Amino acid sequence: MPVLLRLVTATLLPLLLLAACTDDAGTPPGDAGGPGDAGDGSFDAAATTDADARDTAVLVPEGFDEFIAYQMDVGGIPGVAASIVTPSGIAWSGYYGFADIESARPVDENSLFIVASVSKTITTLAALQLVDEGLLDLDAAADDHLPYALRHPDFRADDISPRMLMTHTSGLLDTFTTLSRVTSMSDPEVGLGEFSENYVTPGGAYFATSNWGERPGSDHEYCNVNFALVGHLVESVRGDDLRAVSAARIFGPLGMTSTGWFLEDVDAENLATLYTYNSRTNAAVPHSGFAYYPAASLRTNVPDISRFIQATLRDGELDGTRVLSAELSRSMREVQRRDLHGGQAITWRYRTIGDEEWLAHTGSTFGASAIVAYRPDDGVGMVVMTNSDAFVRARLGLPASRDALEEIFARIAAESVAFR
């Protein structure tokens, strides 16, 4: 391992592990300009300045491609892959910078990015398919289908339902020191079922009182482990590995031919190298595997994830294949518990991007940041994936990369009006 990589791994990785794989990287993106022309992939919009983030006001380029390049330079973002999606397909896609800096390999349509917490949207689809088939009740006890009890140790009489897991109201909390123990520099070394059972079961290898918070159904607390349990619930009902279920019932039907959960599931030659930025230069960090992988480990590219967004915009159908009923696809967009969180739908959240409300999910892990978002009323979605630790570094008090990435989100959102 190169000396620089060893240094980055030894000094930053423990901190990144504590901050990784979460949703909502900070304040919502601000407006970065008005709509422009949709032509050959380049846009034009009003110039903006970012005086608050810099010592002096700097004129930001007007052209869309130049704007993206400028923000990438400001934030130290190595590569960006993005798209605007409509029910008809990809309306625009853009690829910028490097998938690997050392070899000067550019980002292109084949580049695979880990999307961290965006993974939860795929896990959710796998679970909702069970609901469609009458195999799972969103409001019944989840442990009716699990080989162990899923009970809050202080409220054992209270059921924890799949809906609670998918809306972060289960009472479960992430104990990040424990999550770091089941994170490896390869594909996961601890099985999903082993991890899930031992995390929630008193006396289990990963159990701690810090794994549990408020009474189930009484509080909203974002938690990755919720979706490890959703993934294991899918496995328990289907009697098959989530990776196999995803391939047979989601990736295959939607034509997501390059997408996978583990490193061994995807083409290593197309993986984007992951980077951390120290305000001067980018340094590579290792690819990782998580025992709680249904919450965090999806690797995909723009064509594949855009097909997932296209199907979502089409209420669960694509190219004549239905992966979710229209009724359930629409109902999952409803805010679930306004008394606990005003924007939480099933897994997705309503967020302000630019000056509009989107159903969105962000993802952040060491070396990668991403967002997927859509507006069902307008029939438009967007995808932005990067090999930058922008969101994680923001949690460590270093917001420049995140701010630049949010400017990119907002600009793409503003330009998407041309496709509505």
The reported pLDDT for the residue numbered 62 is 85
Please state, rounded to an integer, the average pLDDT across all residues of the chain: 88
* pLDDT tier for residue 7 given thresholds of 50, 70 and 90: very low
In the predicted model, what is the mean pLDDT of residues 401-411? Answer: 96
Interatomic CA distance for residues 5 and 343, integer angstroms = 40
**Residue owning tokens 């794994």:** 211
Interatomic CA distance for residues 320 and 313, integer angstroms = 14
Q: Residues of the chain with pLDDT > 90: what percent?
A: 82
User: Which residue spans within 166-273 are E strands per DSSP?
Assistant: 183-184
pLDDT above 70 for 254 = yes
pLDDT above 90 for 149 = yes
| Ramachandran sector of residue 33 (left: φ over 0; alpha: ψ -120 to 50; beta: rest) | left
Which has the closest alpha carbon to 196: 146, 258, 152?
A: 146
Higher-pLDDT residue of 121, 21: 121
* pLDDT tier for residue 58 given thresholds of 50, 70 and 90: low
Interatomic CA distance for residues 82 and 71, integer angstroms = 14
**Residue owning tokens 């910028």:** 96
pLDDT above 90 for 13 = no
Q: What is the pLDDT of residues 308-354, one digit of tens each?
A: 999 999 999 999 999 999 999 999 999 999 999 999 999 999 999 98
Q: What is the pLDDT of residues 276-296, one digit of tens each?
A: 998 789 999 999 999 999 999
Element at 317 (helix H, strand E): strand 317-318
In the predicted model, what is the mean pLDDT of residues 227-250? Answer: 98
* pLDDT tier for residue 22 given thresholds of 50, 70 and 90: low
* pLDDT tier for residue 23 given thresholds of 50, 70 and 90: low
Q: What is the CATH number of domain 3-419?
A: 3.40.710.10
The reported pLDDT for the residue numbered 57 is 54
Instruction: Provide the token pair at 56.
Output: 């002096």
Higher-pLDDT residue of 102, 61: 102
Reported residue count of the chain is: 420
Q: What is the pLDDT of residues 201-213, one digit of tens each?
A: 999 999 999 999 9
Query: Which of 103-107, 168-172, 390-394 is the least confident region?
Result: 390-394
The reported pLDDT for the residue numbered 278 is 83
Strand-pair partners of 388: 275
User: Which residue spans within 59-202 are E strands per DSSP?
Assistant: 79-86, 89-100, 105-106, 113-114, 183-184
In the predicted model, what is the mean pLDDT of residues 404-419? Answer: 94
Q: What is the pLDDT of residues 353-383, one digit of tens each?
A: 988 999 999 999 989 999 999 999 899 999 9
Which has the closest alpha carbon to 371: 352, 343, 355?
A: 352
The reported pLDDT for the residue numbered 280 is 84
Task: Give yes or no for a contact between 414 and 86, defined as CB atoms under 8 angstroms apart.
Answer: no
How many beta carbons lie within 10 A of that of residue 139, not counting itself?
9
The reported pLDDT for the residue numbered 60 is 83
pLDDT above 70 for 396 = yes
Domain ranges of the chain: 3-419
How many beta carbons lie within 10 A of that of residue 299, not counting itself?
24
In the predicted model, what is the mean pLDDT of residues 222-244? Answer: 98
How many beta carbons lie within 10 A of that of residue 373, not counting itself?
27
**Mode of pairing for the β-strands spanning 317-318 and 321-322:** antiparallel
Task: Give yes or no for a contact between 344 and 220, defined as CB atoms under 8 angstroms apart.
Answer: yes
Interatomic CA distance for residues 398 and 147, integer angstroms = 43
In the predicted model, what is the mean pLDDT of residues 61-82? Answer: 95
Cα angle for residues 272, 275, 280 (degrees, 5° grid): 135
The reported pLDDT for the residue numbered 335 is 97
Rounded to two decimals, what is the model's pTM? 0.89
Q: What is the pLDDT of residues 150-190, one digit of tens each?
A: 999 999 999 999 999 999 999 999 999 999 999 999 999 99
